[in-house]
Amino acid sequence: MISRGVVAAALSKGTDPFSVAALRSFMRTLSFFGDPMDMAIRKLLMEVELPKETQQIDRFLQAFANRYHECNPGIYSTPDQAYFIAFSLLILHTDVFNKNNKHKMQKTDYLKNTRGEGIFDDILECFYDNICYTPFIHVEDDLDVNSERHGPGSIKTKRKLAIPAPVADPAKRAAKEPLDPYTLIIDGNLDVLRPNLKATIPLEDQYNYMGSAQSLNLKDLQKTFFRTGVLQIVSARSRPDAFMSDNPLENTDDAPGIVDIKITKVGLLWRKEAKKRKTRSPWQEWGAILTGAQLYFFRNTGWVKNLMHQYDSHIKAGHDGIPITFKPPLEEFKPDALMSTKGAVALLDTSYKKHKNAFIYVRQGGFGRSSSSR
């Protein structure tokens, strides 16, 4: 009986139980199941125009957030979180498409203003791009968004929505060109925006904590870490009597002390450097020494191979189970790179086929890929 342009204002005018129930009933006529928040707002504002008064806008947007959360309870933790994101998108749209606004909100500004609500920056960046690409459009009364067209009216947009489409059908064509969001909404074809889950997230667990072993033998594993080698480093300050003198560095040539570093494993690793230029191979061979606290890398693979040869000779001589002391003692110990083993785990990556025994070294703040040579 009334124009769509005043529906939202009429339903949001009061806070009495009847007005609240009427607004809730109206929202439940709209379907937002599986819709991204930015597309849901476009669907809403195709149907109605926002009220002019601030309090009415707030009531109407809260009712929308309640309905959106009702349709998608797993996307946002609460209706208030959905309301916050919806409100931020409206503010962004107003800021971007206000001709009188000379200082448009930048993406970094939007992320800064919206961050803290538990939404990943990648999603917020997508919202920013999609909202800024084309303005909201309101459909006149000759078009019923939720069912069928009722007249010659049509929607025309000069710009398209910059959303990457999945490769799989029916979006192969759309993957090569921008998408018109309002055509998708009217045709009920928003599913083409949804990425292929298998292409985005590996559903099968490709990592294995067992490594290359067939079974996990805890006794052998314990022996591996306790049957350590010893790397000796010459240090004048390590002499027992070095601190008994006022000048601990005097007579440093007499009876130099030795510092022992327990070595769990020594060997060669091929380490993948993600930041290497494409013209060079990202895989580089390193000498590696694993201790109880660090994984050390050395560019001098010849020195590490010498340690490996000493260990092999030690085992062949029947000294398995007795820690080996590597010779000669080092004047200095300067690894070229290191990674802490605290809170870290190495997982065999069965999906990586270019190198044998490739594993991901996962630690706080990132990960690295390595391949065991020996």
133 in the same domain as 26: yes
Mean pLDDT calculated for residue range 367-372: 60
Count Cβ atoms below 10 Å from residue 198 Cβ, excluding itself: 10
3-state DSSP helix/strand/coil percent for the chain, to nearest 5? 35, 15, 45
The predicted structure's pLDDT at residue 277: 55
**Confidence band of 358 (pLDDT split at 50, 70, 90):** confident
208 in any annotated domain:
no
Does 245 score more than 70 pLDDT?
Answer: no
Instruction: Print the domain residue range for 298.
Output: 217-245+254-342
Q: Under a CB-based contact definition with an 8 Å cutoff, are residues 56 and 7 in contact?
A: no
How many Cβ atoms are within 10 Å of 60's Cβ, its own excluded? 22
Given a cut of 50, is residue 145 above it in pLDDT?
Answer: no
Q: Decide if 206 is inside a domain.
A: no
Between 139 and 99, the more confident residue is 99
The tens digit of pLDDT for each residue in 249-307 reads: 454 455 567 888 899 899 999 887 666 555 567 788 999 999 988 999 999 999 999 99
Domain identity same for 151 and 299: no
Confidence of residue 243 (pLDDT cuts 50, 70, 90): very low
Answer yes or no: is 221 within a domain: yes
Beta bridge partners of 295: 290, 339
Q: Are 179 and 173 in contact (CB under 8 A)?
A: no
Model confidence, pTM: 0.52
Tokens 């005018």 belong to 13
Residue 246: its pLDDT value, please? Answer: 54
Domain count across the chain: 2
* Pair (223, 186) in one structural domain: no
Q: Does 223 lie in the same domain as 177? A: no
CA-wise closest residue to 64 among 45, 54, 75, 55? 45
What are the residue ranges of helices labelled H in the chain? Answer: 7-11, 17-27, 37-47, 54-71, 79-97, 107-114, 121-133, 181-187, 197-200, 218-226, 301-316
CA within 13 Å, CB half, 194? 9
Q: Looking at this protein, which amino acid is placed at residue 336?
A: D
Q: Which residues pair with 346 in a beta bridge?
A: 361
Cβ neighbours of residue 270 closer than 8 Å, sequence gap 6 or more = 283, 284, 285, 286, 355, 370, 371, 372, 373
Residue 363 is encoded by which pair of tokens? Answer: 């630690």
Please answer whether residues 68 and 83 qualify as being in contact, where contact means their C-beta atoms are separated by less than 8 angstroms: no
**Reduced to 3 states, what is the DSSP secondary structure of residue 53?**
coil
> Residue type at 306?
N
> Could you tell me the CATH number of the domain that includes residue 39?
1.10.1000.11
Together in a domain, 229 and 120? no
268-304 CB burial, b ≥16 within 10 A, e <16: bbbbbeeeeeeeeeebeebbbbbbeeebbbbeebeeb
| Same domain? 136 vs 237 | no
Task: Give a yes or no: residue 151 inside a domain.
Answer: yes
188 plus 222 within the same structural domain:
no
